[in-house]
Amino acid sequence: MARTNVGARWESELDVYSDPISGATVHQLTAYKGHSNHFYFTYPCWYDEGRKIVFYSDRENRTNLFGVDLWSGEITQLTDFAPAQGRIGGLSKNPVREEIYFYHNSVLTALDLETLAQRPLYTRPEGYVGGSSNPTADGQTICAGHHKDLSDEIMIDLGHGYVGFREVWEAHPHSTIVKIPIDGGQPEVVFEEDYWLGHLNCSSKLPNIMTFCHEGPWHLVENRIWGLDLETGKTWQIRPNAPDEAIGHEYWLQDGEHIGYHGKTAAGPVYGAIRYDNANQVEAPFEGHCWHFHSYMLDLVVGDGDAQDPYLLLWRFKDDQFEGPKVLAWHRGSFHIQRVHLHPCFNHEGTQVIYTADPQGYGQVFAVDVPRFESLPDLESVKKG
């Protein structure tokens, strides 16, 4: 029988099987008849020394946060918000202590993963929306981004088909990035401009350095990736766009100094990485369509395929070029709404990939073990049957 109290234990829903295409070991971590999905791929939420992850789940007509043991499958309820209590989102984790952060409606909230106690940190200003937030590398500050609410002027439903996406970009809403002390203190606006800002990603190594993006259609924004020094307020373009280039889905590599990205140039699709100060750029041609990519460093890249090629794919960077793609798993995901986008994410050791897919109708959370690259089948051979 399901229980809804904070700290309640749910029976394991774990199903472990060999992927029928690649032979890789897949761990289906959830099976409830409602959507479950993991964290966004740039905000990893492993805890308990990597044995557990935090995920969202719709259970008993409400959305709450849960933790799941990756090996036993045991599920622990972390929050208990009633259906009428509003939206929960914007999940991220402190890199140096067992604490997560999320927005419940307009309140940025901290939750201790050991005691399960909650405390409010910050209330988003009235008339603003957005819940992108990320702690700094020292675990002392969380950076949150908001933009003016345009829902009275524009039909917006970004979670279900990106409705209003271009229109919000065209409106150039006023946006702010706020630095909030986690253990108490005065919040500080460190950057603001009349442009839609998003994807706030703090370096995992450098407490004063973060990236944000100019949100909007990639081929139309003048530059996607930006750096911000939280101490000085200085901003700068990272991997500056040439005309007609489309670059994005940036994320910090494991070293906390380099940023991975993908996109299109005049020469075709590329994948690359660059240091936050625009040094040490590596960029190479890249074949294969996916919605999202992630990598531990740049040596092994995972992508989510698409509804036509519903496979988790792997590429290997070797001798200055990308090899692949190889099929890691047959996910059969629909990509129908944001909740069931795969958003694949390597663990800190690069040995396992977490993803969300809806092969049985509801979004569920999966983990797949990463075997030797050479042991996996080529995508083209799989497609040929």
Please determine, for residue 385, whether its predicted confidence score (pLDDT) is greater than 90: no
Mapped onto helix, strand or coil, the DSSP state of residue 338 is helix
Secondary element (H or E) of residue 380: helix 379-384
In 3D space, the residue among 104, 121, 224 whose CA is nearest the CA of residue 169 turns out to be 224
Spatial distance between the Cα atoms of 217 and 166, rounded to a whole number of angstroms: 7
Tokens standing for residue 247: 């670059």
Neighbours of 3 (CB within 10 A): 12
DSSP-derived 3-state class of residue 6: coil
Q: Is the pLDDT of residue 260 over 90?
A: yes
Give the span between the Cα atoms of 190 and 342, in whole angstroms: 32
Give CA–CA dist 176/196, Å, rounded: 9
Tell me: the pLDDT tens digits for 289-323?
898 999 989 999 999 998 889 999 999 999 999 99
Q: Per-domain residue ranges for the chain?
A: 20-25+244-337+365-385
pLDDT tens, 338-365? 899 999 999 999 999 999 999 999 999 9
Which of 2, 143, 56 has the alpha carbon at shortest distance from 343? 56
Amino acid at 282: V
Instruction: Report pLDDT digits (tens) over 5-32.
Output: 899 999 999 999 999 999 999 999 999 9
Q: How far apart are CA 218 and CA 243, in angstroms?
A: 11
Whole-prediction pTM value? 0.94
pLDDT at 161: 72
Sheet with 268-275: list strands edge to edge: 246-252, 258-265, 268-275, 282-285
Q: CA-CA distance, 256 to 276, in Å (whole number)?
A: 9
Is residue 57 within 8 Å of residue 108, measured between CB atoms? Answer: no
Percent of the chain scoring above 70 in pLDDT: 97
pLDDT band at 1 (very low <50, low <70, confident <90, very high): very low
Contact 209, 257 (CB under 8 A): no
